[in-house]
A = this chain, B = another copy of it.
């Protein structure tokens, strides 16, 4: 079994969000590169920006006691990032179902591909129960998918 290679670009027509990130020293490790666990944070920053742009601020979910719990994570690392690198993380909605969705990500440094990733999420309430994505949210998210 091999960790699959997530797509290196969004599907045609999918709405995207991109954040810029300057690598702080605290993201590096003794190999003098960014520790692989830190990329999981970078994905989260891009995802928050995506919701801001194409759905609504994630804090509004939280305020209603709703969370997009992470149920799956997959990262394929191609090149190392280093201290003070300027990264660009682009993400898009890969698929959308009744209670769950997936986001695709590409991490680049000045155009060079560093990593690709996918996260899967299920909407849950504060007590951890699965919840259908509310219709108004589902409609906005569906409109951001590739046609």
Contacts and interface: CB of A to CB of B under 8 A. Distances in A.
A-side interface size class: 35 or more
Interface in A80-122: 80, 82-84, 94-95, 102, 118-120
Interface in A1-44: 1-4, 6-7, 24-26, 28-33, 35-37, 40-41, 44
Q: How many copies of this chain does the complex contain? A: 4
Nearest to A5: B72
Given A24-B45, A36-B40, A72 B3 contact: yes
Interface string A60-76: 00100001011111111
Contacts of A76: 71-72
Point out which of A6, A126, A128 has the most chain B C-beta atoms below 10 A from its C-beta: A128
Given A4-B1, A58-B84, A73 B36 contact: yes
A71 B39 CA distance: 12
Nearest to A60: B84
Contact of A41 (B4, B28, B33, B37): B37
Nearest to A41: B26
